[in-house]
Amino acid sequence: MKRIVVEKKILEKNDDIANSIRSLLNKNRVFGLNVMSSPGAGKTTLIERMVEALKPKYKIAAIDGDLDTQRDAQRIAALGIEAVQINTSGTCHLDSSMVQKALNDISLDLDLLIIENVGNLVCPASFYLGTHKNAVLISTPEGDDKVKKYPTMFNVADVVLINKMDIAQFVNFDVEKVEQEIKELNPNAMIFKISALKNDGLDEFLNWVEDNIQSIKNQ
Protein backbone atom coordinates (compact mmCIF):
# COMPACT_ATOMS: atom_id res chain seq x y z
CA MET A 1 0.00 0.00 0.00
CA LYS A 2 2.70 2.42 1.04
CA ARG A 3 4.66 1.50 -2.04
CA ILE A 4 1.84 2.30 -4.43
CA VAL A 5 1.49 5.80 -3.01
CA VAL A 6 5.18 6.45 -3.48
CA GLU A 7 5.13 5.14 -7.03
CA LYS A 8 2.26 7.45 -7.92
CA LYS A 9 4.22 10.41 -6.65
CA ILE A 10 7.22 9.33 -8.73
CA LEU A 11 5.04 8.92 -11.80
CA GLU A 12 3.38 12.32 -11.29
CA LYS A 13 6.75 14.01 -11.04
CA ASN A 14 7.93 12.05 -14.07
CA ASP A 15 4.93 13.20 -16.10
CA ASP A 16 5.50 16.85 -15.20
CA ILE A 17 9.04 16.77 -16.54
CA ALA A 18 7.96 14.69 -19.56
CA ASN A 19 5.34 17.30 -20.43
CA SER A 20 8.01 19.99 -20.42
CA ILE A 21 10.19 17.82 -22.68
CA ARG A 22 7.24 17.42 -25.06
CA SER A 23 6.80 21.22 -25.14
CA LEU A 24 10.50 21.66 -25.89
CA LEU A 25 10.38 19.12 -28.74
CA ASN A 26 7.27 20.76 -30.19
CA LYS A 27 8.75 24.25 -29.92
CA ASN A 28 11.82 23.05 -31.82
CA ARG A 29 9.75 20.95 -34.29
CA VAL A 30 11.55 17.75 -33.34
CA PHE A 31 9.84 14.37 -33.65
CA GLY A 32 10.64 12.28 -30.55
CA LEU A 33 10.53 8.47 -30.75
CA ASN A 34 10.93 6.16 -27.73
CA VAL A 35 12.21 2.69 -28.71
CA MET A 36 11.55 -0.13 -26.22
CA SER A 37 12.06 -3.91 -26.12
CA SER A 38 13.51 -6.85 -24.20
CA PRO A 39 17.29 -7.06 -23.95
CA GLY A 40 18.76 -8.17 -27.25
CA ALA A 41 15.63 -7.73 -29.39
CA GLY A 42 17.56 -5.46 -31.75
CA LYS A 43 16.94 -1.84 -30.69
CA THR A 44 20.43 -0.58 -31.44
CA THR A 45 20.60 -2.36 -34.80
CA LEU A 46 17.21 -0.90 -35.76
CA ILE A 47 18.39 2.59 -34.82
CA GLU A 48 21.57 2.08 -36.86
CA ARG A 49 19.41 1.24 -39.89
CA MET A 50 17.19 4.28 -39.25
CA VAL A 51 20.19 6.60 -39.05
CA GLU A 52 21.79 5.13 -42.19
CA ALA A 53 18.56 5.59 -44.15
CA LEU A 54 17.41 8.96 -42.82
CA LYS A 55 20.66 10.82 -42.16
CA PRO A 56 21.00 12.08 -45.75
CA LYS A 57 17.65 13.89 -45.41
CA TYR A 58 17.22 14.74 -41.72
CA LYS A 59 19.16 15.95 -38.68
CA ILE A 60 19.07 13.17 -36.07
CA ALA A 61 20.32 12.68 -32.51
CA ALA A 62 20.00 9.74 -30.14
CA ILE A 63 19.82 9.17 -26.39
CA ASP A 64 20.76 5.63 -25.32
CA GLY A 65 19.78 4.17 -21.97
CA ASP A 66 21.75 1.28 -20.52
CA LEU A 67 22.56 0.04 -17.02
CA ASP A 68 26.27 0.19 -17.28
CA THR A 69 28.07 0.33 -20.65
CA GLN A 70 28.51 2.95 -23.36
CA ARG A 71 28.37 0.42 -26.20
CA ASP A 72 25.02 1.48 -27.65
CA ALA A 73 25.78 5.20 -27.88
CA GLN A 74 29.21 4.39 -29.29
CA ARG A 75 27.62 2.29 -32.04
CA ILE A 76 25.19 5.10 -32.91
CA ALA A 77 27.79 7.88 -32.68
CA ALA A 78 30.00 5.89 -35.07
CA LEU A 79 27.42 6.72 -37.76
CA GLY A 80 28.22 10.40 -37.40
CA ILE A 81 25.29 11.71 -35.36
CA GLU A 82 25.17 13.09 -31.85
CA ALA A 83 24.52 10.33 -29.29
CA VAL A 84 24.34 10.65 -25.49
CA GLN A 85 24.59 7.61 -23.23
CA ILE A 86 22.58 7.50 -20.02
CA ASN A 87 23.82 4.87 -17.56
CA THR A 88 21.06 4.12 -15.10
CA SER A 89 23.29 2.19 -12.65
CA GLY A 90 20.73 -0.53 -12.09
CA THR A 91 17.46 1.32 -12.69
CA CYS A 92 15.32 -0.69 -15.09
CA HIS A 93 14.05 2.15 -17.30
CA LEU A 94 14.72 5.71 -18.36
CA ASP A 95 12.73 8.42 -16.65
CA SER A 96 12.03 11.92 -17.87
CA SER A 97 14.55 13.60 -15.53
CA MET A 98 17.34 11.47 -17.06
CA VAL A 99 16.23 12.48 -20.55
CA GLN A 100 16.01 16.13 -19.48
CA LYS A 101 19.64 16.00 -18.31
CA ALA A 102 20.75 14.35 -21.56
CA LEU A 103 18.97 17.06 -23.56
CA ASN A 104 21.31 19.64 -22.01
CA ASP A 105 24.07 18.06 -24.10
CA ILE A 106 22.13 17.95 -27.38
CA SER A 107 21.45 20.77 -29.80
CA LEU A 108 17.74 20.76 -30.64
CA ASP A 109 18.38 21.96 -34.17
CA LEU A 110 17.06 18.52 -35.14
CA ASP A 111 14.33 16.74 -37.08
CA LEU A 112 14.36 13.47 -35.16
CA LEU A 113 15.31 12.52 -31.59
CA ILE A 114 15.51 8.77 -31.02
CA ILE A 115 15.51 7.51 -27.44
CA GLU A 116 16.70 3.94 -26.95
CA ASN A 117 15.28 2.80 -23.63
CA VAL A 118 16.81 0.25 -21.23
CA GLY A 119 16.29 -3.33 -22.46
CA ASN A 120 13.21 -4.32 -20.49
CA LEU A 121 9.69 -5.32 -21.52
CA VAL A 122 8.09 -4.14 -18.26
CA CYS A 123 9.22 -0.93 -16.53
CA PRO A 124 9.84 1.46 -19.45
CA ALA A 125 6.16 1.20 -20.42
CA SER A 126 5.16 3.08 -17.25
CA PHE A 127 7.47 6.08 -17.68
CA TYR A 128 6.33 8.67 -20.22
CA LEU A 129 9.36 10.52 -21.56
CA GLY A 130 7.68 13.31 -23.52
CA THR A 131 8.32 11.66 -26.90
CA HIS A 132 5.55 11.71 -29.49
CA LYS A 133 5.47 8.00 -30.28
CA ASN A 134 6.47 4.64 -28.82
CA ALA A 135 8.03 1.92 -30.96
CA VAL A 136 8.12 -1.54 -29.36
CA LEU A 137 10.29 -4.30 -30.79
CA ILE A 138 9.62 -7.98 -30.30
CA SER A 139 12.06 -10.49 -31.76
CA THR A 140 11.07 -13.93 -33.03
CA PRO A 141 13.43 -15.98 -30.80
CA GLU A 142 11.75 -14.51 -27.70
CA GLY A 143 8.74 -16.65 -28.56
CA ASP A 144 5.25 -15.91 -29.82
CA ASP A 145 3.61 -15.60 -26.38
CA LYS A 146 4.94 -12.18 -25.38
CA VAL A 147 1.94 -9.95 -26.24
CA LYS A 148 -0.37 -11.50 -23.66
CA LYS A 149 2.43 -11.88 -21.10
CA TYR A 150 3.56 -8.22 -21.29
CA PRO A 151 0.33 -6.36 -22.10
CA THR A 152 1.33 -3.01 -20.57
CA MET A 153 4.16 -2.61 -23.06
CA PHE A 154 2.06 -3.54 -26.10
CA ASN A 155 -0.73 -1.27 -24.90
CA VAL A 156 1.50 1.81 -25.06
CA ALA A 157 2.95 0.92 -28.48
CA ASP A 158 2.18 3.12 -31.48
CA VAL A 159 4.12 0.72 -33.68
CA VAL A 160 5.20 -2.85 -33.03
CA LEU A 161 8.18 -4.08 -35.02
CA ILE A 162 8.45 -7.87 -35.22
CA ASN A 163 12.20 -8.24 -35.65
CA LYS A 164 14.50 -11.14 -36.60
CA MET A 165 11.97 -12.44 -39.13
CA ASP A 166 14.97 -13.99 -40.93
CA ILE A 167 15.29 -16.64 -38.18
CA ALA A 168 11.55 -17.06 -37.46
CA GLN A 169 11.63 -20.45 -39.19
CA PHE A 170 14.29 -21.79 -36.79
CA VAL A 171 12.42 -20.79 -33.62
CA ASN A 172 8.83 -21.92 -34.34
CA PHE A 173 7.47 -18.37 -34.25
CA ASP A 174 3.79 -18.09 -35.22
CA VAL A 175 3.71 -14.57 -36.67
CA GLU A 176 -0.01 -14.64 -37.50
CA LYS A 177 -0.89 -15.44 -33.89
CA VAL A 178 1.27 -12.55 -32.67
CA GLU A 179 -0.27 -10.11 -35.15
CA GLN A 180 -3.74 -11.23 -34.07
CA GLU A 181 -2.94 -10.78 -30.37
CA ILE A 182 -1.51 -7.29 -30.98
CA LYS A 183 -4.65 -6.32 -32.93
CA GLU A 184 -6.94 -7.59 -30.18
CA LEU A 185 -5.04 -5.77 -27.42
CA ASN A 186 -4.22 -2.53 -29.23
CA PRO A 187 -6.05 -2.15 -32.56
CA ASN A 188 -4.38 1.19 -33.30
CA ALA A 189 -0.82 -0.13 -33.20
CA MET A 190 0.81 -0.47 -36.60
CA ILE A 191 2.74 -3.69 -37.16
CA PHE A 192 5.88 -4.08 -39.26
CA LYS A 193 7.68 -7.39 -39.90
CA ILE A 194 11.39 -6.78 -40.32
CA SER A 195 14.92 -8.03 -40.03
CA ALA A 196 17.01 -5.10 -38.83
CA LEU A 197 20.20 -7.14 -39.14
CA LYS A 198 19.51 -8.00 -42.80
CA ASN A 199 18.00 -4.53 -43.45
CA ASP A 200 14.85 -6.21 -44.68
CA GLY A 201 11.25 -4.94 -44.55
CA LEU A 202 12.12 -1.53 -43.12
CA ASP A 203 10.72 0.72 -45.88
CA GLU A 204 7.18 1.03 -44.49
CA PHE A 205 8.46 1.76 -40.99
CA LEU A 206 10.85 4.41 -42.33
CA ASN A 207 7.94 5.97 -44.26
CA TRP A 208 5.98 6.11 -41.02
CA VAL A 209 8.91 7.86 -39.29
CA GLU A 210 9.22 10.36 -42.15
CA ASP A 211 5.47 11.05 -42.04
CA ASN A 212 5.79 11.85 -38.34
CA ILE A 213 8.80 14.10 -38.90
CA GLN A 214 6.84 16.02 -41.56
CA SER A 215 3.75 16.21 -39.39
CA ILE A 216 5.69 17.86 -36.54
CA LYS A 217 7.42 20.21 -39.00
CA ASN A 218 4.05 21.33 -40.35
CA GLN A 219 2.51 21.95 -36.94
Binding residues (CB under 8 A) for its own copies: these are 3, 6, 10, 38-41, 66-69, 71, 90-92, 118-123, 126, 139, 141-143, 145-146, 148-152, 164, 167, 170-171
Which CB atom, from 67 or from 190, has the smaller least distance to its own copies?
Answer: 67
Residues 52, 21: Cα–Cα separation, whole Å: 26
CA 87/CA 89 separation, integer angstroms: 6
Min CB(155)–its own copies separation in Å: 11
C-beta of 108 vs 123, nearer to its own copies? 123
CB of 149 to its own copies, least distance (A): 5
CA 80 – CA 60 distance, rounded (Å): 10
Nearest CB to its own copies, comparing residues 112 and 115: 115
Closer residue to its own copies (CB): 4 or 56? 4
- Taking the least distance from each CB to its own copies, the nearer of 13 and 217 is 13
Q: What minimum distance in Å lies between the beta carbon of 120 and its own copies?
A: 6
Compute the least distance from the CB of residue 143 to its own copies, in Å: 4
**Measured from the CB of residue 211, what is the shortest distance to its own copies in angstroms?**
30
Closer of 16 and 145 to its own copies (Cβ)? 145
Going by C-alpha positions, the residue among 100, 103, 98, 67 that lies closest to residue 83 is: 103
CB 152 within 8 A of CB 122: yes
Quote the least distance from Cβ 26 to its own copies, whole Å: 28
